[in-house]
Amino acid sequence: MEEVNAINTIESNAPSPVPVAVPVATPLENIPQSGKFCSECGSKISAKAEICPNCGVRASSPAISEKSKTTAALLAFFLGGLGAHKFYLGRTGMGVLYLVFCWTFVPAIISLVEGIQLLGMSYSEFAMKYR
């Protein structure tokens, strides 16, 4: 009986355990899937962020969005022979070149390949290439 009492005394005198409730979600992991990518370092940042927390570069590039990668790919597939995706991506010089040689159908073939590449490209790659 005395031994049990001794143990109880020790336990009640022991320092209270560290609180279990530790904040779980860190802000960086909490970024929704709809976030954008930094045009400089390619790291995923909040869609509302104007400056990349990773490299500090201003991240607002309204021309480049998740949607624009798909749009560029579709343009490459359907109007690629006219360089539409090149104009869309701001590569005007290449677009003109495609347009000039569209009658050879070579640009159309290249565009098909480029369209597939665009679809397969990760968004951060796309953002780094066409910003």
- Contacting residues toward Zn ion, per CB under 5 A: 38, 40-41, 52, 54-55
Of residues 11 and 50, the one with the C-beta less far from Zn ion: 50
CB-nearer residue toward Zn ion: 45 or 75: 45
C-beta closer to Zn ion: residue 39 or 68: 39
SS3 121: coil
Closest to 53 (Cα-Cα) out of 63, 65, 64, 41 = 41
**In the complex, what is the shortest distance from the CB of residue 40 to Zn ion, in angstroms, rounded to a whole number?**
4
**Least CB distance from residue 19 to Zn ion, whole Å?**
35
Q: Assign 65 to helix, strand or coil.
A: coil
- Cβ at position 41, least distance to Zn ion in Å: 3
CB of 86 to Zn ion, least distance (A): 26
Closer of 4 and 48 to Zn ion (Cβ) = 48
DSSP assigned state of 40 = T
Spatial separation of the C-alpha atoms in residues 117 and 20, rounded to whole Å: 48
Structure tokens at 60: 């607002």
What is the C-alpha separation between 23 and 25, in angstroms, rounded?
6
